[in-house]
Structure 1
Amino acid sequence: MKKIIYFSFLMVLMACESDLDQVPLSYGTTESFYANQNDFEQARNATYSSGLYSYPTRLMNLSETRSDNIYTVPDVNYAWSEIHNFYTSITANGFIEEAYATNYNTIYKVNQLLEKLDENGQVIIDTDIRLNIRAEAHFMRAFCYFDLIRWFGPVPLLDRTVSPQEAAKIPRSSVENIYQLVIEDLKFAVENLPESYDDENYGRVSKYAAKGILALVYMTRSSETYGIDGPGLNSGEWNLAYQQLNDIRNSGQFQLEEEYSRIFRTEGTQNTENVFVIPFLESTGNSVGTNFMSEHIGADSYFASLGLSAQGASEGRFVSPDLRSSFAEGDLRAEFGIVDSYVVDEGRWEGSYDRPVYSKYADVTRYGDSRTDWGVDFMVLRYTDILMLMAECTLQGGGGAQADVDFIINKVRERAGLPADAVNVTLEELFQERQKEFFAEGNRWFDLYRTGNAINILNNWKTEVDDENALRGIDPNSLIYPIPLQEILSNPGLYEQNPGYN
């Protein structure tokens, strides 16, 4: 039964995602559905599948590739290259369209599920199960809207099902208004979700997953505005975030894994770092795994060195030289998660390669039968992240003491095989340590935003590593993505495009 939560509706999800030309709120309902408890559980599972299946790939393409963790020469033939090079003509980029459409498809499913729970769920579902499904649905809606805010800033706010005709008349709502719904949804989830699940229900969101995302919401709201209509409101809610994170720490359910490599090789409830995880299952013939590996590792030649077929990696995304050089000699994180050179003995990719690539999630024992069938679980939030986010809140005045920050950083460094000699750690040093701890996990773009200094960091990085002058100058408008062109065209005059894009 493990991992089945996400895949009972996988084929429905794949059918929906195959046609991104549709208005993202246009999927109809089947009135004969929601006739028994199993129907409601299936609908709940569908929100998981729709909302989370493509999330890891999205992070690789829109966060990791956009950040200073990756560098490559320009190649306009690939959608990820447009993202990496900060092109302004990316309104029709497929990765951007996917982020917008998938989140709204999920929001539609959630709103429908919540309405059906109100209509007849009280009659046919056990009270505790009904409340659990409702809490999970509220979590998924909050998760999707938070994702939309971080990518796009203001977007349409829909807390009920609407027809395509109604959707075409709903303008973008303010970021503040959307945040209010997100916070309300997450608070409901925190109050009503269980603290944990058994092995059979591994992957379902818990109270502590909701607390972790709520903390990130408060931290993102507290970030600088950069003078744009983006996710940062400079709200100063670091103390609220700290309280949520401290609850997770005090729960006693999680602990730091002693070995860095085991974090990414241990699955299920045995992984004590798992606060919020998206599980995938390799299953030869069924293809119910994930495809984020092809975005995680930017070179098909490396897959060939592992004895695997081409994964569609485009041979172009490599570890940024300044990231690679930032690791001290003997840092176990780099030794495990980055391959500096490799050899392919035969075939199309035969040869020797010395361009560093990620290898953190490259576990060939969890490969299925195709590039879309890796059974590699993806951690959205792990316990190390919770502790380091607490340290960030402390340095922002949200609670705790400097000694707590130094202790956390030294525990992280000690696990990496480095001296535990950090003293009076600053915010800048904390973010540098986060970059080395969480590379290849999709956090870096959001971390850059929260530094309050993203523009200077990225422009200085561009100057240092961009010998071919491939990257355009970065300004505050680059910190959010454009509203997809198909949304602008389908609702003429309703949406104004985010500044800086054409």
Structure 2
Amino acid sequence: MKKHIYIIANFLAIFALTSCESELNQIPLSQGTTENFYSTANDFIQARNATYSYAFHGANEYGYANRILNLSEVRSDNFYATTQASRNWEGINNFTTALSTNPLIKEAYLSNYNAIYKANQLLEKLESNGSVITSETDRTTMKAEASFLRAFCYFDLIRWFGKVPLIKNTLTAGEVAKIGRTPITEIYDLILSDLLFAVNNLPPSYDNANFGRVTKYGAKGLLAQVYMTRSSPDYGIDGAMLGLNEWDKAYQQLNDIKTSNLFVFDTNYANIFKTEGNANKENVLVIPYTQNTGNGVGGNFQIELGYQPYFASLNLSDQGSLEYKPISTSFLAMFDTNDSRRAVTLAESYTVASGTYKGTYTSNPLVKKYIDASRYGNGRTDWGVDFIVIRYTDVLLLMAECTLHGGGGTQADVDDIVNDIRERGGLARDAVNVNLDRLFNERRMEFFGEGTRWFDLIRSGNAVTIMNNWKTSEDTSDKLGTIDKNSLLYPLPLSEFLAAPGLYTQNPGYDN
């Protein structure tokens, strides 16, 4: 059910990488071409599917899900992931200023531009040769999908890096090397234009055979997040936050998702992470993965917050999660005694019967909500567990956030949403006059291990204060660097400066 897009996409990705590998490795500082492609309707379908694959699955067995778990979850107050080994995530968590050569930073930058290149190319070919697709509806839908994916990648880029080069067409290396970092407002103009086109031209849903393609409501969910990010305090930095008052615009998009009646608040928290495909009515925007296909369409994001002894306790093969990422004590202390979400989210005691990791582990809790042994395939990159980018509970809580900013709805609506979530977790419906601080605490427990926390901190307007208070209480080993407003952005990769000397200026606070 989930493999329809990505099996075809894998074939085209192999074709693209073997024919244009040197060019793609330098994106955005060079671009490749496929002049003999796009001559049939099936060529366009393969190109569309490859664009999904580049945007969601990335490259080198590393995709959007892995990225957001490292750059958002591990960066936040949810993890105190300092280790004795030199691991890529350690600098992310430690707030070091020497991050411009970090592979996780480079991946976030280059993978997004690879996908943007594919989206630009598809949009251009639809304009010049799209008539080979005889259905005008199919052509328009494909254009909407490419537009969404381009917006998705640019939004991802500006949230991590702030200003980046705006590339709206396929260009030569020489042309790209003249494009500096574009003002955020200009990048937002393209993002909004692309998302509004997608919202107006994507279907509300797909059948099982097309599960994984973005719908009108997936686009509305992302558009709402764009409006909310634009409305967040700017912290005095040149980032994606503009301090605008667009909470009402965000609320409208989210309310459209709610009133579509296509999505359901699942009353069983565990079901959200165990139900696949269209059967999961919490899915608003999802990245599907399928195991046991032999086509490289399985995932591996489970390893990012996992730990090898736990995988061994499930009798799974080596996942490479040799270094334990400690969960912060401040998070572990948040749950009420009877909150059933804790048991779904965390593995806090597990036993390995024999072998290298034999023993019982009671002091190494880890995120297990996405670890489902029944959907494990042939090796560490072959998990068939979908990654939910936006789920319906998130839509409801984002609506509540907009309400508390005056964007629509009532205080009673906010309290009801929080109480529904508490009730699902086995807690009393005792939330009254919920404010933003309480709401963000509820979000922290609800979405732990899903990659939302860093963005939640930024939208709160108190990211620097919260992180420094957390540092004071958590960092007893004094391993964390300075956390200030500059820490809210990552540095551009050093490779981009070396490829075009003098073109870019690095984000403040980082070593180049």
TM bin, normalised by shorter chain, reads: over 0.9
| Of 124-133 and 85-94, the range deviating more from structure 2 | 124-133
Q: 1:137 corresponds to which letter in structure 2?
A: A
User: 1:16 offset after TM fit, Å?
Assistant: 4.5
Contact 2:133–2:139 at 8 Å: present in 1 too?
Answer: no
Q: 2:355 aligned with 1:351, yes or no?
A: no
Contact 1:25–1:108 at 8 Å: present in 2 too?
Answer: no
Task: Give the alignment of 1:349-388 within 5 angstroms.
Answer: 349-353=357-361, 354-388=363-397
Q: 2:330 aligned with 1:326, yes or no?
A: no
Partner of 2:207: 198
Q: 2:278 aligned with 1:269, yes or no?
A: yes
CA displacement 1:137-157 (0-9 Å, x = unmatched): 000000000000000000000
Counterparts of 2:97 and 2:127, CA distance in 1: 44
Q: 2:282 aligned with 1:278, yes or no?
A: no
Partner of 1:446: 455
Q: 1:148 corresponds to which letter in structure 2?
A: L
| Of 376-385 and 465-474, the range deviating more from structure 2 | 465-474
Q: 2:322 corresponds to which letter in structure 1?
A: S
CA displacement 1:296-318 (0-9 Å, x = unmatched): 32x11111111112212232212
Task: Give the alignment of 1:131-150 within 5 angstroms.
Answer: 131-150=140-159
Partner of 1:51: 55
User: 1:25 offset after TM fit, Å?
Assistant: 5.1
Contact 1:25–1:104 at 8 Å: present in 2 too?
Answer: no
User: 1:72 offset after TM fit, Å?
Assistant: 2.8
Change (3 A) 1:199 1:285: closer
CA displacement 1:342-391 (0-9 Å, x = unmatched): 22122111222222111110100000111111000000000000000000
CA displacement 1:402-459 (0-9 Å, x = unmatched): 0000000000100011101100000000000000000000000100100000001011
Counterparts of 1:141 and 1:284, CA distance in 2: 28
Contact 1:76–1:82 at 8 Å: present in 2 too?
Answer: no
Q: RMSD value over aligned CA atoms? A: 1.5
| Of 311-320 and 435-444, the range deviating more from structure 2 | 311-320
Counterparts of 2:194 and 2:7, CA distance in 1: 24
What is the aligned counterpart of 1:71 among 80, 83, 88?
Answer: 80
Change (3 A) 1:13 1:124: closer
Counterparts of 2:506 and 2:382, CA distance in 1: 36
Q: 2:337 corresponds to which letter in structure 1?
A: E
Change (3 A) 1:115 1:286: closer
Partner of 2:347: 339
| Of 338-347 and 400-409, the range deviating more from structure 2 | 338-347
Counterparts of 2:77 and 2:17, CA distance in 1: 33
Contact 1:21–1:486 at 8 Å: present in 2 too?
Answer: no
Which secondary structure state, in structure 1, belongs to the residue aligned with residue 286 of structure 2? strand
CA displacement 1:448-496 (0-9 Å, x = unmatched): 1000000010111111112211111200101010000000111100000
Q: 2:481 aligned with 1:472, yes or no?
A: yes
Q: 2:422 aligned with 1:413, yes or no?
A: yes
| Of 332-341 and 207-216, the range deviating more from structure 2 | 332-341
Q: 2:181 corresponds to which letter in structure 1?
A: R
Counterparts of 2:492 and 2:206, CA distance in 1: 38
User: 1:125 offset after TM fit, Å?
Assistant: 3.2
User: 1:26 offset after TM fit, Å?
Assistant: 2.9
Partner of 1:26: 30
Counterparts of 2:379 and 2:295, CA distance in 1: 10
Partner of 1:169: 178
Partner of 1:437: 446
CA displacement 1:36-63 (0-9 Å, x = unmatched): 1111111000110000011001011111
User: 1:284 offset after TM fit, Å?
Assistant: 5.5
Q: 2:265 aligned with 1:256, yes or no?
A: yes
Q: 2:46 aligned with 1:42, yes or no?
A: yes
| Of 6-15 and 316-325, the range deviating more from structure 2 | 6-15
Contact 2:12–2:46 at 8 Å: present in 1 too?
Answer: no
Counterparts of 1:309 and 1:123, CA distance in 2: 46
Q: 2:6 aligned with 1:6, yes or no?
A: yes
TM-score of the superposed pair, with normalisation by structure 1? 0.97
CA displacement 1:65-87 (0-9 Å, x = unmatched): 10111113334510011111111
Change (3 A) 1:339 1:239: same
Partner of 1:293: 302
User: 1:11 offset after TM fit, Å?
Assistant: 5.1
User: 1:121 offset after TM fit, Å?
Assistant: 0.6
Change (3 A) 1:75 1:90: farther
Change (3 A) 1:448 1:310: same
Task: Give the alignment of 1:214-225 within 5 angstroms.
Answer: 214-225=223-234
Which secondary structure state, in structure 1, belongs to the residue aligned with residue 8 of structure 2? coil
Partner of 2:319: 311
Counterparts of 2:262 and 2:189, CA distance in 1: 29
User: 1:12 offset after TM fit, Å?
Assistant: 4.9
Query: Identity over the aligned pairs, expressed in percent?
Result: 56
What is the aligned counterpart of 1:496 among 473, 481, 505?
Answer: 505
| Of 431-440 and 120-129, the range deviating more from structure 2 | 120-129
Q: 2:498 corresponds to which letter in structure 1?
A: L
TM-score of the superposed pair, with normalisation by structure 2? 0.95
Counterparts of 1:396 and 1:23, CA distance in 2: 39
Which secondary structure state, in structure 2, belongs to the residue aligned with residue 326 of structure 1? coil
Change (3 A) 1:415 1:348: same
Partner of 2:60: none
Counterparts of 2:294 and 2:405, CA distance in 1: 50
Q: 1:109 corresponds to which letter in structure 2?
A: K
Change (3 A) 1:284 1:252: closer
Counterparts of 1:165 and 1:348, CA distance in 2: 53
Q: 2:122 aligned with 1:113, yes or no?
A: yes
| Of 458-467 and 382-391, the range deviating more from structure 2 | 458-467
Q: Number of residue pairs matched?
A: 501
What is the aligned counterpart of 1:233 among 214, 236, 242?
Answer: 242
CA displacement 1:161-199 (0-9 Å, x = unmatched): 101111111011011110110000000000000000001
Counterparts of 1:73 and 1:31, CA distance in 2: 48
Unaligned runs of 5+ in 2: 58-62
CA displacement 1:254-291 (0-9 Å, x = unmatched): 01011000000000111110100100000164442001
| Of 237-246 and 120-129, the range deviating more from structure 2 | 120-129
Which secondary structure state, in structure 1, belongs to the residue aligned with residue 35 of structure 2? coil
Which secondary structure state, in structure 2, belongs to the residue aligned with residue 9 of structure 1? helix
User: 1:93 offset after TM fit, Å?
Assistant: 0.5
Q: 1:3 corresponds to which letter in structure 2?
A: K
User: 1:4 offset after TM fit, Å?
Assistant: 1.6
Which secondary structure state, in structure 1, belongs to the residue aligned with residue 333 of structure 2? helix
Contact 2:492–2:506 at 8 Å: present in 1 too?
Answer: yes
